[in-house]
Amino acid sequence: MAWESVGQISTGQMPNDRAWILFGYETAKRYIELVCGAAPLGSKLDIMWHEHELGDYPSLGVWSDYEPPWDYINACERAFEVFDEAVSWYDLKEHFERQQEDSEED
């Protein structure tokens, strides 16, 4: 199965910010699906984990069973770039962490 990365969010450090990073990817994934549509038959937009000697890390990408759907992959890359540049990741991360703290106190 082929896999092509479409981007990585620009805040957070693994493993301490794992929940935040996964939240960011899920949010970016939803935006991409909204503007690019569903992945073509035989492929899937999702989070992929990469193994590294300093620790595993995720990225967002497109899996495909056969020939990669390059038009869709390129559209996803452009959508991710626009989303990443438009979002204030640090402000969102700060709010996300406050919400996590509030829910832990309840």
Report pLDDT digits (tens) over 13-44.
Answer: 888 889 999 999 999 999 999 999 999 999 99
CA dist 7 and 9 (Å) reads: 7
Q: Judge whether 21 lies within some domain.
A: yes
Assign 58 a pLDDT band (cuts: 50, 70, 90): very high
Structural domain of 92? 2-101
Q: Judge whether 30 lies within some domain.
A: yes
Q: Judge whether 88 lies within some domain.
A: yes
Q: How many domains is the chain built from? A: 1
Q: Judge whether 106 lies within some domain.
A: no
Q: Judge whether 22 lies within some domain.
A: yes
pTM for the structure as a whole: 0.87
Burial 46-73 (b: 16+ CB within 10 A, else e): eeeeeeeeeeebbbbbbbbeeebbeebb
